[in-house]
Amino acid sequence: MSAAITTTIDIVASPQAVWEVLTDFAAYPDWNPFMRRVEGTPRVGTKLVVHLSPPGGRGMRFKPTVLVANPGQELRWLGKLGFSGLFDGEHSFVLTANADGTTHLTHSERFSGILVTLLKGTLKNTRAGFDAFNQALKQRVETADFPR
């Protein structure tokens, strides 16, 4: 069984400016309502520690492995609940430059595993968390002192 969440938002800044804020994990507690803390380095093969606080849901901590870290383009990681195949989530942030110099962010996650059906109800809170994250990222980037 699988399920997916995909959200998008346009940000009035370059992909590099968005990347700078997206990967400044130390600053997440200052602005991020969904991922309250992320520890680690966005480098392929490294493990992160992500602390989630979905709206209306229980907070949780997981340790995903970074799969892709292309500056200004894509950050993707794979997290697992328990062992592989139980409840896995491949989370991604894809940054695409728009013709007008702004950035289109596609923020998504693909869930797979035998527990997806049982946990599908919690994905509504997760979608709300993605939307809150996107809005907060947009505000943070657009009010930061970056060249536009």
Position 2 confidence tier, pLDDT thresholds 50, 70, 90: confident
Residue 97: give its domain's CATH number: 3.30.530.20
Give me the helix-helix angle, 15-22 and 123-143, nearest 10°: 120
Is 16 within the bounds of a domain? yes
Position 20 confidence tier, pLDDT thresholds 50, 70, 90: very high
Is 128 within the bounds of a domain? yes
Is 56 within the bounds of a domain? yes
Position 37 confidence tier, pLDDT thresholds 50, 70, 90: very high
Give me the pLDDT at residue 50, please: 95
Average pLDDT, the chain: 89
For the segment 64-120, what is each residue's pLDDT rounded down to a tens digit? Answer: 999 999 999 999 999 887 667 667 889 999 999 999 999 999 999 998 877 666 566
Is 89 within the bounds of a domain? yes
Q: Which residue has the higher pLDDT, 125 or 74?
A: 74
Is 148 within the bounds of a domain? no
Is 122 within the bounds of a domain? yes
Beta-ladder partners of 60: 52
Q: What is the CA radius of gyration of the chain?
A: 15
The parent domain of residue 16 ranges over 2-143
Give me the pLDDT at residue 117, please: 62
Counted domains in the chain: 1
Residue among 37, 9, 48, 44 nearest 139 (CA)? 9
Is 49 within the bounds of a domain? yes
Q: Which residue has the higher pLDDT, 6 or 115?
A: 6
Is 53 within the bounds of a domain? yes
